[in-house]
Amino acid sequence: MKKVLVTGGAGYIGSHTVVALVERGYHPIIVDDLRNSSLIILEGLKKLCGDGFSFLSIDICDKNILFSVFEDHGIQAVIHFAAYKSVGESCVVPLRYYQNNLIGLMNVLEACQTFNVQKFVFSSSCTVYGEPNGRQVFENTPKHLPESPYGFTKWMGEQILEDLHRNTQPFNTLCLRYFNPIGAHPSGLIGELPVGIPNNLLPYITQTAAGIREYLTVFGNDYPTPDGTCIRDYIHVCDVAEAHVCALQHEGYVPLDVFNIGTGKGTSVLEMVETFNVVSGRELPYKLGDRRPGDITEIFANVEKSEAELGWKAQRTVEEALRDAWNWEQQLKQHD
């Protein structure tokens, strides 16, 4: 199982997973039309991986072109990242999210069936839990209706996979429910590269520290948490990447399975700001704003199942993730 199709492989998590795959002897074939990425990431991948990967610029919503990739390259496994990913933006342009995220997924699944692919790893999200009854969520925690169209595309994506496996077992599928990936590759060659104004916390922090943004807006300080700000399970993106390699190598007996990918620890927005100040030696300017549509109060993972069955555990700290993200932001100045 050496030829692995990585949809959205030039994106944030996808690019770090490509590096992890090459390091383990796989040959990733990236399909990505770069709408949410840049040639900067491909340049970084080239420096890190040499000729260890292939890149094809295609839109997976074009089924005919996607099928030709499967036909021409002998794909043995698929890791599916390609999707729009902003909670806030999805509330503004929901149709764009449903069209891209669900049609793309269904096209890839149909190709897997047609070309007899044996392993499928789905990039899911903790948003499928919605606003959970408890702060810590297990894989069997009941899924509530998500708070955003983005969350619904992941929730519906998992439902599509369940229905696909209901009467047949077309291939082994693992859904990885990530919590909040942050950080960058320690080399500073690849990292999160948001298009336009960042929607995720950490790139907004680093862009503010770099002077690109005037200040960080903390959305809501009246949540029922110790400091009034939202709490999330922030996990280093390199740990998330390695979870995908473990998923590919997993030989479970369940045709469709789900795993939480997090640290098991929650950190508030203001704690992130304070930790960044320590790591960077800077004083980050921020202002308090109103709550943002689609945000839940608090969530963090129980990761016992991932440790026991995938043999995977987060190894890096929030401090390391913040340091690596700041290093990446500073490296980006060289491309300006």
The residues annotated with a catalytic role in the active site are 150
Helix (H, G, I), strand (E, B) or coil at 249: helix
* Contact predicate 225/297, CB 8 Å: yes
Helix (H, G, I), strand (E, B) or coil at 30: strand
What is the C-alpha separation between 21 and 102, in angstroms, rounded? 26
Residues with Cβ < 8 Å from 212, sequence gap 6 or more? none
Residues with Cβ < 8 Å from 322, sequence gap 6 or more? 182, 183, 202, 205, 272, 275, 276, 279, 280
What is the C-alpha separation between 80 and 124, in angstroms, rounded? 9
Strand 267-268 vs strand 231-232: parallel, antiparallel, or unpaired? antiparallel
* Contact predicate 32/83, CB 8 Å: no
**Nearest 10 degrees: CA dihedral of 220, 157, 267, 265?**
150
CB atoms within 10 A of CB 68: 14
Determine the residue type at 63.
K
What is the C-alpha separation between 154 and 39, in angstroms, rounded? 27
211: left (phi over 0), alpha (psi -120 to 50) or beta: left
* Contact predicate 25/92, CB 8 Å: no
Which two tokens mark 185?
């590759």
Which two tokens mark 53?
């990967």
Q: Helix-strand-coil percent breakdown of the chain, rounded to 5?
A: 40, 20, 40
Which two tokens mark 125?
């999200």
